[in-house]
């Protein structure tokens, strides 16, 4: 699923949403915003290194990633590192060996998404000076040299310009997950794929499926028998594709189809499932619409949870089917008793 193809699908759906009544547009557009930011505005994360001059930028990334990292080009002080097929990251090495003018020029062109301070012998005062052009809103992560951060914390306390910014301590092993949470939405996905941060990938995918479930729930509220089924099917297919992409795997229609088919969920079953809820509308119109919307949203959520379990968490397919069944709503609407 290339970015251009995804953008085309998104734009078509966006135009469809614009034709809905205003009261329905707002909740859908609100859920579309993070999807667009994460998947359509995707870009490499920008990280600024401070502190000890070792390891090098390449060695530092090599310790974070589970695949060999390649060195790319440099522009305005920002060096690109990448893993082909998974993504890239840009690093500004602002440690003491880099001239101040070099760092200032780089920061004038681009600000970092996060700052990483590596513990080791060095001038805390110099590090603080190099932070002057960075807004305090940019998160600062400290990486202790040992499992005991006591010395590192005492050093930071001696430099108010650093400690006043607020420093989040993380070991190198836990840094990728923490960074993914702190990064802006457009930079999250590529960094999670690059570093193989499974918890971060699951977090991104869970946010994604909540948005899709909410959108499908709103669409399911519309009293247009069968007309919304192609839209829901397309959205659910797109959601599974994006979850696969989040896991760093190539996305193909065949892979999506095989996965959905393995769950035992198909368009025919989905149609009966959806129209069973529609039948409730004939008895209690308002409540029936609510049931229909709930089924559309909950069914979408069940598919998404199963996709996360299989493609990101690595759970075997027989167990994934149990996950799917657990989240899947009842296929029969509850009986309505005459009062």
107: number of Cβ within 10 Å: 21
Is residue 265 scored above 70 in pLDDT? no
* pLDDT tens digits along 167-225: 888 888 899 999 998 999 999 999 999 998 888 899 999 988 888 888 887 776 665 55
71 confidence band (pLDDT: 50, 70, 90) = very high
Compute the distance between CA of residue 100 and CA of residue 126 in angstroms, rounded to an integer.
9
Nearest partner of 77 among 54, 105, 53, judged by Cα: 105
Predicted local distance difference test score (pLDDT) of residue 292: 54
CA geometry: angle 130, 134, 138, nearest 5 deg = 125
Q: Determine the Cα–Cα distance for residues 86 and 96; give it in Å rounded to an integer.
A: 31
Which of 180, 159, 177 has its CA nearest to residue 117? 159
- Helices assigned H by DSSP within 115-266: 124-129, 150-157, 160-163, 175-182, 185-195, 198-220, 229-246, 253-262
**Of 22-31, 124-133, 225-234, 263-272, which gets the smallest average pLDDT?**
263-272
* Mean pLDDT of the 81-106 span: 89
8 A C-beta contact, residue 92 and residue 117: no
Reported as a single tens digit per residue, the pLDDT across 21-66 is: 667 777 777 888 888 888 888 899 999 999 888 888 899 998 888 7
What CATH number should be reported for the domain whose range is 45-194?
Answer: 3.40.50
CB 43 within 8 A of CB 172: no
- What are the residue ranges of CATH 3.40.50 in the chain? 45-194
- Determine phi and psi for 65, rounding to 5 degrees: -100, 155
In the three-class reduction of DSSP (H, G, I as helix; E, B as strand; rest coil), residue 21 is classed as: coil
pTM equals 0.77
Question: What integer pLDDT is reported at residue 270 of this predicted model?
Answer: 43
Confidence of residue 92 (pLDDT cuts 50, 70, 90): very high
pLDDT for 294 equals: 55
pLDDT above 50 for 145: yes
Indicate whether 247 pLDDT > 70.
yes
- Average pLDDT score, the chain: 79
Highest mean pLDDT among 217-226, 272-281, 282-291: 217-226
Stretch (H or E) spanning 46: strand 45-51
Return the number of other C-beta atoms located less than 10 Å from residue 330's C-beta.
11
For residue 291, pLDDT beyond 70 = no
């Amino acid at each position: 699923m290339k970015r251009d193809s995804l953008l085309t699908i998104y734009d078509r759906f966006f135009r469809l949403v614009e034709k809905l009544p205003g009261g329905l547009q707002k909740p859908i557009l609100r859920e579309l915003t993070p999807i667009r930011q994460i998947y359509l505005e995707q870009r490499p994360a920008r990280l600024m290194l401070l502190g000890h001059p070792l390891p090098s930028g390449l060695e530092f990334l090599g310790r974070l990633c589970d695949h060999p990292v390649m060195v790319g080009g440099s522009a305005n002080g920002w060096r690109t590192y990448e893993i082909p097929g998974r993504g890239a990251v840009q690093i500004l090495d602002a440690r003491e060996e880099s001239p101040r003018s070099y760092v200032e020029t780089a920061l004038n062109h681009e600000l970092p998404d996060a700052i990483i301070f590596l513990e080791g012998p060095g001038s805390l005062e110099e590090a603080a000076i190099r932070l002057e052009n960075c807004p305090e809103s940019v998160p600062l992560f400290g990486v202790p040299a040992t499992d005991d951060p006591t010395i590192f914390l005492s050093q930071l306390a001696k430099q108010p310009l650093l400690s006043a910014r607020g420093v989040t301590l993380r070991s190198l092993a836990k840094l990728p997950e923490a960074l993914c949470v702190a990064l802006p939405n457009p930079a999250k996905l590529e960094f999670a794929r690059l570093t193989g941060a499974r918890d971060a990938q699951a977090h991104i995918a869970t946010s994604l499926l909540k948005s899709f479930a909410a959108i499908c729930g709103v669409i399911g509220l519309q009293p247009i028998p069968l007309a919304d089924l192609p839209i829901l099917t397309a959205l659910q297919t797109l959601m599974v594709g994006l979850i696969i992409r989040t896991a760093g795997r190539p996305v193909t229609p065949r892979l999506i189809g095989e996965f959905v088919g393995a769950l035992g969920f198909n368009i025919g079953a989905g149609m009966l499932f959806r129209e069973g809820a529609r039948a409730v509308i004939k008895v209690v119109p308002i409540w029936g619409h609510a049931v229909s919307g709930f089924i559309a949203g909950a069914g979408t959520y069940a598919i998404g949870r199963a996709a996360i379990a299989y493609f990101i968490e690595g759970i075997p397919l027989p167990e994934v089917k149990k996950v799917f069944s657990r989240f899947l709503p009842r296929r029969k609407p509850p009986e309505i008793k005459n009062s």
